Amino acid sequence: MSSTMFQLAYGYELQGPEDPFFVQTRELTHIAVVAAMYSNFFVNVFPALVYLPAWLPGMGWKKTALKYRAFKEYALRKPYEWTKSQVASGKARPSILGSFLKGHQLTSSMSQKEMDDKLEEVGFIIYAGGTDTSSNSLVSFVAAMVMNPHVQQKAQHEIDSVLGTGALPEISDKERLPYINCLIKELLRWYPALPIALPHVCYADDVYRGYEIKKGTTMIGNVWAITRDEREYKDPEVFNPDRYMDPSVPMAPVFGWGRRKCPGLHFAEDSLFLAITSLLATFTFSKRKGPNGEEITPKIEPGPNVVTLSPKEFEFDFKPRSDEHRQLILEITD
């Protein structure tokens, strides 16, 4: 997923897990998702704390901010400068930043410095916004399959009946795999990657169900609570893709809403479709077996207190579905 998002943003193909661009950007993303969790730092609630010295108790957020600043110089600027040099030399691969640098109406009125500053931020936001949430959703997908083998079997049956056993999905197959689409909707509801939505601001005085909300008030939507609303989702803790076979069941607002709704939601949905369908087409996920052959049921628990949600590490087994599938895997990874 990191490689895909880097190519989308910069037109750059990562050279592996030790690639300096990847190492620095991954670390910056980790700092960002920790800092973005509203409850992690008192300064988010009491802004006046910014004026107190860093050595006081409870001021650890200042060290985090300094660490972020140190990584930001490299993680934002260097990949952007690489793309900029590729565009200047005429060697640039297609990318979002490349399109802006070649001339776009959104940047035509900006000074060079303003454009550089904004595009550096845009590149990182594309990478961070698309990588952390999508990878967390894939971890949650594995957990769901391990804990619900009947769902996995039903999904694999649909894939086999539509695609056969020797092919991987294409995006054009999406409409032919309705159960897979329901599975992805249920995955996003069952373990939303962004359980507490990004903060919004109330731009005018308002009243909601008798509550007065003043202009300028910070509003945070509780996506987790919405996905557990029993009026919309019967037995909300149960992973049940079949619920979405009923067209009256709404998709959970996991991509946000209003003007700050995720601009990459269609890309994210299509990427998850291809990744999840490919995994289901080729692998079977199951509970790990103990020394006496007994199944060990993992405990699926929320991970660290950061703005994105992913299960803690858990043990499981996975294997190719057959020798034919094993050969297919070898062919596509060669």
90-148, pLDDT tens digit by residue?
Answer: 998 999 999 988 877 777 788 888 888 899 989 888 888 788 788 889 999 999 999 99
In this predicted structure, what is the pLDDT of residue 124? 86
Residue 93, CB half-sphere, CA atoms under 13 Å: how many? 9
Q: pLDDT confidence of 38, banded at 50, 70, 90?
A: low
Average confidence (pLDDT) over 240-264:
91
Report how far residue 307's alpha carbon sits from residue 198's, in angstroms, rounded to the nearest whole number. 9
The winner for highest mean pLDDT among 39-53, 180-194, 288-302 is 180-194
Those residues whose C-beta lies under 8 Å from the C-beta of residue 194, and which sit 6 or more positions away, are 133, 223, 254, 256, 307, 308, 309
Which has the higher per-residue pLDDT, 122 or 240? 240
Which of the given ranges, 21-30, 178-187, 302-311, has the highest pLDDT on average?
A: 178-187
How does DSSP classify residue 49? G
Antiparallel, parallel or unpaired: β 211-213 and 206-208: antiparallel
Greatest mean pLDDT among 67-76, 240-249, 263-272, 304-313: 240-249
H-type alpha helices, the chain? 2-10, 20-35, 60-89, 96-101, 112-147, 149-163, 178-190, 223-227, 265-282, 323-333
Structure tokens at 204: 């005018």
Q: Bridge-partner residues for 283, per DSSP? A: 320
* Helices 20-35 and 2-10: angle between axes, nearest 10 degrees: 100
Find out whether 180 and 277 touch, Cβ atoms under 8 Å.
yes
Contact 265, 255 (CB under 8 A): yes
- How far is residue 298's CA from residue 147's CA, in Å, rounded to a whole number? 8
Q: What is the mean pLDDT of residues 264-282?
A: 93
Signed CA dihedral, 48, 50, 56, 58: sign only = positive
Q: In this predicted structure, which of 107-116, 148-157, 183-192, 309-318 has the lowest mean pLDDT?
A: 107-116
Burial of 327 (0-12, 13-18, 19+ CB in 10 A): exposed
Cα distance between residue 76 and residue 305, in whole Å: 25
DSSP 8-state secondary structure symbol assigned to residue 304: S
Q: What share of the chain is helix, strand, coil (3-state, %, to 5)?
A: 55, 10, 35
Q: For the chain, which domains are there?
A: 1-109 (no CATH), 131-333 (1.10.630.10)
Per the CB < 8 A criterion, the answer to whether 212 and 169 are in contact is no
Higher pLDDT, 248 or 28: 248
Amino acid 293 reads G
pLDDT of residue 206 exceeding 90, the answer is yes
Which is more confident, 7 or 259? 7
DSSP state of 311: B
Structure confidence at residue 332 (pLDDT): 82
- Annotated binding residue 262: yes
